[in-house]
């Protein structure tokens, strides 16, 4: 158990819909990362937040957005869903020192949310 929690575990929805995935980081971790894992694209970095502010951005679509709240939990919002958005979505957290680079942070991954778009 990494200490990172994600809800829901599974989500089935239809094309065109909007969903919200939730992540609670490990106690004391200030940074949250979101990843998408699909069979054809592998693990793709989407976005990172540090203490409520966006820190780094990866291959996140404009239909997707995220935020980190004052209590440090994070939500990933996926809208206008397409079949190709079906994937495992992972959240990870790290201590992330303010002066460091993301690549130096040891990340602890949650169990993931499996999204199926029908």
Partner 1 sequence: LAKTTQPISMDSYEGQEVNITCSHNNIATNDYITWYQQFPSQGPRFIIQGYKTKVTNEVASLFIPADRKSSTLSLPRVSLSDTAVYYCLVGDSAAGNKLTFGGGTRVLVKP
Rule CB under 8 A: which residues touch partner 1?
2, 4, 33, 35, 42-45, 48, 55-58, 90, 92, 101-104, 106-112
CB of 22 to partner 1, least distance (A): 15
Residue 19 backbone phi and psi in degrees, to 5: -135, 160
Burial class (CB in 10 A: 0-12, 13-18, 19+), 60: middle
Smallest gap, in angstroms, from Cβ of residue 41 to partner 1?
10
Nearer to partner 1, 28 or 70 (CB): 28
Q: What length is written for the chain?
A: 118
**Nearer residue to partner 1 within complex by CB, 28 or 42:** 42
Q: What is the token pair recorded at 85?
A: 């958005």
């Amino acid at each position: 158990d990494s200490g990172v929690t994600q809800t829901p575990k599974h989500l089935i929805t239809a094309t065109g819909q909007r969903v919200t995935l939730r992540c609670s980081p490990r106690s004391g971790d200030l940074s949250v990362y979101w990843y998408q894992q699909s069979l054809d694209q592998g693990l793709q970095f989407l976005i990172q937040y540090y203490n409520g502010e966006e820190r780094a951005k990866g291959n996140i679509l404009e239909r997707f957005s995220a935020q980190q709240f004052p209590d440090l939990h994070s939500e990933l919002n996926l809208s206008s869903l397409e079949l190709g958005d079906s994937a495992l979505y992972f959240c990870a957290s790290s201590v992330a020192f303010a002066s460091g680079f993301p690549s130096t942070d040891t990340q602890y991954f949650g169990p993931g949310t499996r999204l199926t778009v029908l």
